[in-house]
Structure 1
Amino acid sequence: MLTAEVTVPVPPEQAFAPLADGWLYASWVVGASHIGAVDPGWPAVGSRIHYRFGLWPVLISDTTVVRAVDAPHRLELEARLWSVGAASIRLTLTATDAGHTRIRMIERAVRGPARWVPGPAQDLVFAARNQESLDRLADVIRARAQNH
């Protein structure tokens, strides 16, 4: 299973903070273009982000829901993919040396036709997108660290 990964120069609590702010979702998730609403209590299990993905003028509304959380170490999401189904996304944050955090992301299709695609083929589809998402998340984390 291919895993996207970045390391950021902050402890897990600081690295998790942007994940805990649902309004920042579109700033780091590739494809998400507009946040319409974030359920109160995000990222509590069952809470949702309501967003649009795509490029204007073709925007599709959907949701991402929290399936599990162990802040600041793990966040598991289920992102709906319109008629294509849904994907399970696991983000894990691990403290490394000298106040750094390694963030890993794994994504798998769990509903719809895409779930029948073999894992290695899913890796090819998701790998570059997930690495770009984590690179964007790392930029958000670094910018927030500089401003605090």
Structure 2
Amino acid sequence: MVEVSLRVPVPVDQVFTVLADGWSYASWVVGAAHIREVDATWPAPGARIHHSVGPWPLQVKDVTTVATSRPPHELELEARMWPLGAATIRFELTEENGETKIRMHEKVTRGPLSLLPEQAQAVMLVPRNRESLHRLADLAVGRK
């Protein structure tokens, strides 16, 4: 899995609050363009965000599903982006001295992009995921 991490100067609960707000995903997930619906049980296992991915007019409608949720420390998702494939994305939050360390792991698991070696996936995913974590951090800090 490709991993990126970032320290945020807020408690773990404050970061997880953003992850638990499915309607905020288009604000911080790079590539997410529009949230159409969020299941009322989000972020419980099996809950889904119905979203669009990509630039208009080439947007693809798909879903992201919660695989595992252990508030406020872990959230694992399966993000679909057909026809390109699907990815497993895991967020791990740990608190250290009043700050939160966010670790984001991602691996393309299905579709044509899954055939790429991890190093090639990293070239695509690391810059995108770093930017996503910075956006997530901005939202978490702004929720004080």
Q: Same fold (TM over 0.5)?
A: yes
Q: Secondary structure at the match of 1:58?
A: coil
**TM-superposition CA deviations, 1:73-127 (whole Å, max 9, x none):** 0100000011111000011001111x11000111101111222211121111100
In 2, Cα distance between the equivalents of 1:59 and 1:132? Answer: 20
TM-superposed CA distance for 1:20, in Å, is 0.3
Moved more, 78-87 or 112-121: 112-121
In 2, Cα distance between the equivalents of 1:116 and 1:54? Answer: 21
In 2, Cα distance between the equivalents of 1:92 and 1:40? Answer: 23
Give structure 1 regions of 4+ aligned residues with deviation exceeding 3 angstroms.
none
Q: From the superposition, tell whether residues 2 and 108 of structure 1 become closer, same or farther in structure 2 (CA, over 3 Å).
A: closer
In 2, Cα distance between the equivalents of 1:114 and 1:60? Answer: 16
User: Any gaps of 5 or more consecutive residues in structure 2?
Assistant: none
In 2, Cα distance between the equivalents of 1:88 and 1:2? Answer: 10
Partner amino acid, structure 1, of 2:28: W
Sequence identity of aligned pairs in percent? 52
In 1, Cα distance between the equivalents of 2:74 and 2:138? Answer: 19
Aligned pairs, number: 144
User: Any gaps of 5 or more consecutive residues in structure 1?
Assistant: none
TM-score, normalization by structure 2:
0.96
RMSD: 1.0
The residue aligned with 2:101 is 102
TM-superposed CA distance for 1:57, in Å, is 2.3
Q: Is the 8 A contact 2:6 2:133 kept in 1?
A: yes
The residue aligned with 1:52 is 52
The residue aligned with 1:132 is 131
The residue aligned with 2:75 is 75
Q: Secondary structure at the match of 2:133?
A: helix
TM-score, normalization by structure 1:
0.93
